[in-house]
Structure 1
Amino acid sequence: MSNDQNQAPRTRIIFVHGFLDDRTAWENVLSLLGEDFEAVALDLPGAGAHLDDEGPFTLRRLAESVIAEIDRSDTPVVLVGQSMGAQVSELAAAARPGRVAGLALLTPVPLAGVHLTGDAATSFRSLGGDADAQRQGRLGVSVSLSPDALETLLASGTAIHPTVVAQVFDAWNNGDAAGAIPSAYAGPTLIVRGAGDPFVTEEVIAAAVLPRFANAPVVGIADAGHFPHLEKPQEVSRIVGDFARSLDRVKA
């Protein structure tokens, strides 16, 4: 029997992007993971290759696309979701708990939502097609975002139809009723935050994310804000890789 036949299949990691983003936000992290893992980054409905998908754009609808990717996998997967993608990933993990070996939540918006109102909600809802507003918004919640990384985010965000932006904002802002109770996903979970993130702060995680999981360690990344995967991709790649390897050790 050949060495290839003796080797266990590589752990599959599925990356799920956040609001106004698409799969390109994960490119640096994926390139740094190397060949130890089979990694795939998705475009959620309404973004990237799916810009012209029809609505409604609810969290449950977005989660269906992640569930479909899980179902295409031959072995259990690790889900990594950032910001809104953390909400979507948790819903997918809860729908397929036996198929998700681990869940990593990066700068996670609470599944219950944040319930912005007034001018703040209006500003988010009207970001579609407004490059200047998106630029200022991205810079306002980041610490060390490079010009190239900013351009990557702007390219994805400005391409999304304004009506989709408004619906997707409502989805993550209003959240899901499942966020009001302990998480239905009881598998290994890791929470990762940017130490300088002014949006998903340490207090937000302590109050609205961490209590919903029985045993979820929190890892902070210095000199990073809301987009650690773009600000500090090497750190995120290392953290995700170590988490995935720890699951293999548990299985062994």
Structure 2
Amino acid sequence: MAEAILVPQVGQDLTEAKIVELHVKLGDKVKKGDLVAVVESEKASFEVEAFSEGVVISLPWKVGDVATVLEPLMHVGSEGEVVAATATAAPAAQVAAPAAVPALVVAAPVGAAPVGASVVAEPVRVAEPVAAVAGGRRASPIARRVAFDHNLSVERIAGTGPKGAVVLRDVEGAIASAPAAGSLELRTLQSGQGTPVVFLHGFGADLSSWRPLVARVGLGSPMMALDLPGHGASQRHVAADFAALVDAVGRTLRGMHGGVHLVGHSLGAAVAAALTERGDLDVRSLTLISPAGLGASVDGDFVDGFLSAKSEGALQAWMRRLVSDPASLAPVLVRATLAARDEAGLVPAQARVARGVFEGSTQLFNVAAALRAYRGPCTVIAGRDDAIVPLREIEAAVPAHVALHRLDRVGHLPQVEAADLVQTLIARTVRSAG
């Protein structure tokens, strides 16, 4: 089956990338790890690698084109295979968003996504005329007017219209998810119907790390995410300890009437479990990936090394601890993490969070009791080769009524090394809640 290699990008508000090099042409054979292209964002250039072996069967862009992020850069499949029309142009409304910024809690890498992945269609609307606004962001006149009326800047709203333009539905989504005073910003990653699924990243990442995984889950539910205090757009929110992290997220989510499904990774998974004890949030299901908070141990050397790394080589050396197979850590992901640190104050903010939740190689919080008390559908996914949070401590803490999936040859990032299985387990857990 053909697989799409997507256009990568870094940054929460960047929606386009320029194709500056193409190293393949139609009919060329590629194997996993081959350099196939170089794209350029506003901050840096990034190499794009093949994530599977096959033949280039679709190449919609040429050098010099400006492509929309997370749309197919090319398709790799079997010789003679034809790409379906719907796969050649994935709707920007579903995926136009920043790519993953991996770290201790990175989500699936920008790269291979199965052709025909299920997406939720928006109601048909008459196309809105768009025009560039100050700063270069394109927006329709009605989107600009409604944003102005609600004191919102279209420059800070992710566009899902043609070529990343901001249209009315984007502004309406931003209004609906506007944070209350003192809360975090909850963003919609994919629209849908029914009970929303909220993704919580962990230490060292931001909400954009979930976008590639969300595009593959195939649920019709609304998909949402937020940045934990000290991370991404929430780096100026102060949280002195784990309880403060949980409180900040809880304040943001408690207005979601009708329930919520929670998916978390590492530190984000611990926050998700702790939220079930608050009493002001109807948590319909839990999916916890490499959860922290179920034992005392954490790789403190990794945390310190990750925060102190300033060069690509140093960061790559530490990030290899996150995976079982170093080859699964694509160089573009290391560069993306490094580029995210251009944001002034990000690393100091993350260091403050680290001091509040870790002490050396010890976790200063525990959510095992919350997990034992929770009676909704719950799935725990952990790698047998996890060097950050030991599997043995997770196994000892997971109660009998919780489904525990132990993955062979997988480290702390199951969503990278076993992405297909992880997205299947997320969908199964959400659906089991009814």
On whether the aligned pair clears a TM of 0.5, the verdict is yes
Within the candidate set 202, 208, 219, 2:391 is matched to: 202
What is the identity, as a one-letter code, of the residue corresponding to 1:124?
V
Within the candidate set 388, 402, 417, 1:231 is matched to: 417
- Offset of residue 93 of structure 1: 1.8
Work out whether 1:48 is the aligned partner of 2:227.
no
Give 1:86-101 correspondences, 5 Å limit: 86-96=269-279, 99-101=282-284
Within the candidate set 193, 197, 201, 2:382 is matched to: 193
Task: Provide the residue aligned with 2:346 in structure 1.
Answer: 161
Within the candidate set 194, 198, 203, 1:10 is matched to: 194
Going from structure 1 to structure 2, the CA distance change for 1:243 and 1:161 (only over 3 Å counts) comes to same
What is the identity, as a one-letter code, of the residue corresponding to 2:208?
T
Work out whether 1:146 is the aligned partner of 2:359.
no
Work out whether 1:21 is the aligned partner of 2:200.
no
Going from structure 1 to structure 2, the CA distance change for 1:237 and 1:156 (only over 3 Å counts) comes to farther
Work out whether 1:124 is the aligned partner of 2:124.
no
TM-superposition CA deviations, 1:130-163 (whole Å, max 9, x none): 2444432221121323233344444446756343
What is the identity, as a one-letter code, of the residue corresponding to 1:104?
T
With structure 1 as the length reference, what TM-score do the two structures score? Answer: 0.78
Work out whether 1:81 is the aligned partner of 2:264.
yes
Work out whether 1:71 is the aligned partner of 2:250.
no
Say which structure is richer in helix.
1
1:19–1:83 Cα contact (<8 Å) kept: yes
Percentage of matched positions with identical amino acids? 24
- Structure 1: segments with no counterpart, 5+ residues: none
TM-superposition CA deviations, 1:62-111 (whole Å, max 9, x none): 11232134323232111111111111111112214760011111001124
1:113–1:172 Cα contact (<8 Å) kept: no
- Offset of residue 229 of structure 1: 2.1
| Bigger Rg over Cα | 2
What is the identity, as a one-letter code, of the residue corresponding to 1:16?
L
Give the whole-Å Cα distance in 2 for the aligned partners of 1:17 and 1:61. Answer: 16
Give the whole-Å Cα distance in 2 for the aligned partners of 1:139 and 1:34. Answer: 30
With structure 2 as the length reference, what TM-score do the two structures score? Answer: 0.48
Equivalent position SS for 2:262: strand
- Offset of residue 230 of structure 1: 3.1
State the aligned residue count.
234
TM-superposition CA deviations, 1:21-52 (whole Å, max 9, x none): 11122111111123522111211111111122
